[in-house]
Structure 1
Amino acid sequence: MKKLMFAAAALAMTASLGTAQTIRMGTEGAYPPYNFVNDSGEVDGFERDLGDELCKRAELDCTWVKNDWDSIIPNLVSSNYDTIMAGMNINEERKKVIDFTQPYTPAMPSAYAALSGDADIMGGVVAAQTNTIQAGHVAESGATLLEYATPDETVAAVRNGEADAVFADKDFLVPIVEESGGELVWVDGYDTVPLGEGIGMGLRQSDTELKAKFDAAITEMKEDGSLNELIKKWFGEDALIFE
């Protein structure tokens, strides 16, 4: 009987060692170039590239889950997935609810875009995506804040006259402004607004071991230069990188 019990335990241990831990990576899939859904219906973008590499280095088996932005933190806390990689800036308010890895981007600037460079962004109406640091900034600026569930809706609000300007991550707005044919322009003096601590991976506060694994993988990518190369790939040669 003892031999049978020992054999069963050894078999269970072997099976456990041979099975990689599966981690569900939550993202929005609607915030290029950070994350988006490609023509094949798959999650794509900077964070997909980075997340897959981090999982490989951490020896984790990762799958991707798409979730609307306005419920992305509650669904992490409710264990519907295990991480958030969705262009989420690290700030003190979010730290009260979830934990973050170290940032995997420098503190990327935000920007205001409008139909005119002299748009009133302090006393007018400004569109921002709900539950973002940009929305919080607008709310404290004196402008009237219009919040929308998706980033595309914030841009549409400017185009259809509902808002005087949109405030968002500059990296999100750059291709939209450039491809607008002059319809959208940067607000004078507000094309680069420092905001946030950098973008990091959100995790449940109880998942300290998982956080440590991802932190180690991010550190490794910073040290070998591969993280900077990914940033340049998706944001251009002039993008902010880690020194």
Structure 2
Amino acid sequence: MPAHNCPLCRCLTDTEFCRDRRRTYWQCPQCELVFAEKSFWLCAADEKAEYDLHENSVVDVRYRQFLNRLAAPLMQRISVPARGLDFGCGPGPALQAMLQEVGFEVDVYDIFYAPDPGVFKCGYDFITATEVVEHLHDPKFELNRLWSMLHPGGYLAIMTKRVQGQAAFANWHYKNDPTHVCFFSETTFYWLADSWQASVEFPASDVVLLQKPART
């Protein structure tokens, strides 16, 4: 059986985690990331076509309530005039609007809808990534880059549904989205926190807050 490199930690794995009629999934023995076999990943054009079907509006009340699962615990830990970045904001940057409405300064980036590379030259007090990390083809590069942009004491706030075990994964609707290729568990986030010497909190079932150490 061929070995596959984990997209997050680059560890080799030949551990098949799940196979369904759509794809095969592997699990890393080191960070426990579950990832779809790369031969099933979509090209950029097909990926964007899927995203174009989404109807997430800045004024959609239900969408705002969904995003508030991340925004509320984050805002309990940061204060105006903190500056942040909404990474992977999509075509309707509702989270940016929600945070700006209470006084935060928020930049946006999205590879398809707001591709401004200038944000990667900036430093931020917080970075949000809502329903983004499961789409990343190179989470090692992208997450390390975001982490390097955070000021000491800053927060990386991530929203993504977490792997709850092999049996649950087999019947999990979340894995059926063809643009979802990487699936994180609490163990994966603890591994990330350890590699960054970060503190980690799980304020909701699909939210994780990672805080960068303050300068000593």
Report the TM-score, using the length of structure 2 for normalisation.
Answer: 0.35
Structure having the higher strand fraction is 2
Structure whose CA Rg is larger: 1
Report the TM-score, using the length of structure 1 for normalisation.
Answer: 0.33
Structure having the higher helix fraction is 1
